[in-house]
């Protein structure tokens, strides 16, 4: 059977590519060995948001809610019910992906696909002993949690003491004491859940700050907020060993141990580029990632790689867009992946939404910057809804072109309105044009308007 496109991997990169290609009338086969939806739907973005919503609701039933005049007696978390609801959410969305495949005439195989090589007809992929041939191949094999060579980690994973995001999203019982290794995105989002629902949660981070590349001030404020909820942070602390009853870290040349009941390992993810036979087509792989150009083309003719497996921007929304870029390129439509305004969000409580450059990045790029820093209390809705909130927003403008080049916001709803800043950056809107936009009132997003009027260029 000859297909126009075979897609290997049914996560956000793969299923969107398959959907768009099918919609355009191409004959498409999607091969996925696990569940449709990939990491994002099954053990990443979506399940973590489901859990976090339970902890947010619970948070309002505690002393925090009393600030709003709300008193709840006897509120408790039923971890099994939280996880069961999360499963329901996943099921709904995974069946939505299956329906989208069907609606766009995409054939789906639930098995592992391996590249066999090229024939006169096209690229050959083997699955379940059958050979499928295609004119174009899109590799979308995703990423996996990094497992470092730290003594005790492998044994801990085998015994269930050490979890990756996968297990941490499915725990049926709440641990009394949790240590999170890595204060990056996954570590902080899951700490935001476990810390609020009553686990004594400690985060051990090698760097002197949490949340990696985000703005230093926002990172410090976020940490302060977490500490208010009782979480502990060990910064500049490198985990050197995992014992059967705890985590040993080294700080300033001294070793200390944190005793706990469970450990979450969240020290980063790495592209999966070696499980589908890329060597059969001599596809170039560098530092574990498939090398692609801005159209997501690999060095092998008619072979594309989208999403985490190319390591360019390991986010579900980037993967969607890369899937579309690859399909448009196959269809002969002019398109390319632009990375300058990819929003990134930490779904912590409060959320942090960022897009574009930080002040340091803009300066390093030689931009003459004007920085506006505003407390979120400049937005009326924020004050009404965030008793004692310490949110801030930072906007970086380019003085020469009078454009916005970066926005960094710590506030509820920033995940939703950071997109507006992304559009302004992507479309290179001038401050004058931004000032003409009418924002809904009252809305937290009005902070953008405040910044546009506060900036002096």
Q: Which residues are catalytic?
A: 441
DSSP class per residue in 136-171:
EEEE---EEE-----TTHHHHHHHTSEE-HHHHTS-
The single residue among 52, 134, 153, 186 that binds ligand NAI, judged by CB under 6 A, is: 186
CB-CB contact of 358 with 371 (8 Å): no
305 lies in the binding site for ligand NAI (CB under 6 A): no
- How many residues line the site for ligand NAI (CB under 6 A)? 27
The single residue among 198, 212, 236, 288 that binds ligand NAI, judged by CB under 6 A, is: 212
Residues 6+ away with beta carbon under 8 Å from 301: none
266 lies in the binding site for ligand NAI (CB under 6 A): yes
The angle, 0 to 180 degrees and rounded to 10, between the axes of the packed helices 12-23 and 79-103 is: 30
157 lies in the binding site for ligand NAI (CB under 6 A): no
187 lies in the binding site for ligand NAI (CB under 6 A): yes
CB-CB contact of 379 with 389 (8 Å): no
Per CB under 6 A, contacts with ligand NAI among 325-344 are 344
184 lies in the binding site for ligand NAI (CB under 6 A): yes
Q: Would you call 430 helix, strand, or coil by DSSP? A: strand
The single residue among 20, 86, 269, 297 that binds ligand NAI, judged by CB under 6 A, is: 269
Tally Cβ neighbours within 10 Å of residue 95. Answer: 12
- Describe the strand order of the beta sheet including 200-205 as a list of residue ranges: 162-163, 262-265, 177-181, 200-205, 232-235
> Residue 130 — φ and ψ, nearest 5°?
-105, 155
The single residue among 347, 395, 397, 417 that binds ligand NAI, judged by CB under 6 A, is: 347
Per CB under 6 A, contacts with ligand NAI among 97-156 are 148
314 lies in the binding site for ligand NAI (CB under 6 A): yes
Distance CA 311, CA 318 (A): 11
205 lies in the binding site for ligand NAI (CB under 6 A): yes
Distance CA 325, CA 296 (A): 7
Nearer to ligand NAI (CB atom), residue 197 or residue 266: 266
Closest distance to ligand NAI from the beta carbon of 266 (Å) = 4
24 lies in the binding site for ligand NAI (CB under 6 A): no
Instruction: Single out the segment in contact with ligand NAI by CB under 6 A; choices: 101-109, 121-129, 177-185, 426-434.
Output: 177-185
183 lies in the binding site for ligand NAI (CB under 6 A): yes
Residues in the chain: 457
Distance CA 235, CA 246 (A): 17
51 lies in the binding site for ligand NAI (CB under 6 A): no
Distance CA 318, CA 307 (A): 7
The single residue among 182, 195, 246, 353 that binds ligand NAI, judged by CB under 6 A, is: 182
Closest distance to ligand NAI from the beta carbon of 18 (Å) = 22
Q: Is the dihedral of CA 30, 33, 36, 38 positive or negative?
A: negative
Instruction: With residue 393 as reference, give the H or E element that holds it.
Output: strand 392-398
- The DSSP call for residue 438 is P
206 lies in the binding site for ligand NAI (CB under 6 A): yes
Determine the distance from the C-alpha atom of residue 11 to the mean position of all C-alpha atoms in its chain, rounded to a whole number.
13
The single residue among 306, 315, 341, 431 that binds ligand NAI, judged by CB under 6 A, is: 315
207 lies in the binding site for ligand NAI (CB under 6 A): yes
| Residue with the CB atom nearest ligand NAI in the bound state | 184
Query: What is the binding site for ligand NAI (CB under 6 A)?
Result: 44, 148, 181-187, 189, 204-207, 212, 238-239, 266-269, 314-315, 344-347
């Amino acid at each position: 059977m000859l297909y126009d496109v075979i897609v290997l991997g049914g996560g956000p990169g793969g299923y969107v590519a398959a959907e768009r290609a099918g919609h355009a009338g191409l004959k498409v086969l999607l091969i996925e060995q696990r569940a449709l939806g990939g990491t994002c739907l099954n053990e990443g973005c979506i399940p973590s948001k489901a859990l976090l919503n339970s902890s947010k609701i619970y948070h309002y039933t505690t002393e925090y809610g009393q600030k709003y005049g709300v008193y709840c007696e006897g509120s408790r978390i039923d971890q099994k019910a939280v996880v069961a609801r999360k499963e329901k959410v996943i099921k709904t969305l995974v069946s939505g992906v299956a329906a989208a495949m069907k609606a766009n005439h995409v054939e789906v195989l639930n098995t592992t696909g391996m590249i066999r090589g090229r024939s006169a007809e096209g690229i050959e992929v083997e699955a379940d002993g059958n050979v499928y041939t295609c004119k174009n191949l899109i590799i979308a094999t995703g990423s996996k949690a990094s497992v470092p060579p730290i003594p005790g980690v492998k044994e801990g994973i085998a015994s269930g003491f050490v979890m990756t995001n996968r297990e941490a999203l499915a725990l049926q019982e709440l641990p009394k004491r949790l240590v999170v290794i890595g204060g990056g995105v996954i570590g902080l989002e899951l700490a935001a859940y476990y810390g609020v629902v009553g686990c004594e949660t400690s985060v051990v981070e090698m760097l002197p700050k949490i949340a990696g590349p985000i703005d230093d001030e926002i990172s410090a404020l976020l940490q302060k907020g977490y500490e208010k909820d009782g979480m502990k942070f060990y910064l500049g602390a490198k985990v050197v060993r995992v014992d059967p009853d705890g985590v040993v870290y080294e700080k300033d040349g001294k070793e200390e141990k944190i005793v706990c009941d469970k450990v979450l390992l969240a020290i980063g993810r790495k592209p999966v580029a070696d499980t589908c036979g890329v060597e059969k087509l001599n596809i170039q792989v560098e530092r574990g990632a498939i090398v692609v150009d801005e159209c997501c083309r690999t060095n092998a003719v008619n072979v594309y790689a989208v999403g985490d497996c190319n390591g360019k921007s390991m986010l579900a929304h980037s993967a969607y867009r890369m899937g579309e870029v690859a399909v448009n390129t196959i269809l002969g439509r002019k398109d390319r992946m632009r990375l300058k305004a990819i929003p990134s969000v930490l779904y912590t409580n409060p959320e942090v939404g960022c897009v574009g450059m930080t002040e340091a990045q803009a300066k390093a790029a030689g931009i003459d910057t004007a920085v506006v820093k505003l407390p979120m209390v400049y937005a009326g809705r924020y004050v009404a809804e965030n008793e004692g909130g310490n949110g801030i927003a930072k906007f970086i403008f380019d003085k020469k072109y009078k454009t916005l080049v970066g926005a960094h916001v710590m506030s509820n709803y920033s995940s939703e309105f950071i997109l507006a800043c992304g559009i302004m950056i992507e479309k290179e809107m001038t401050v004058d044009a931004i000032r003409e936009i009418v924002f809904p009132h009252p809305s937290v997003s009005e902070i953008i308007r405040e910044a546009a009027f506060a900036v002096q260029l």
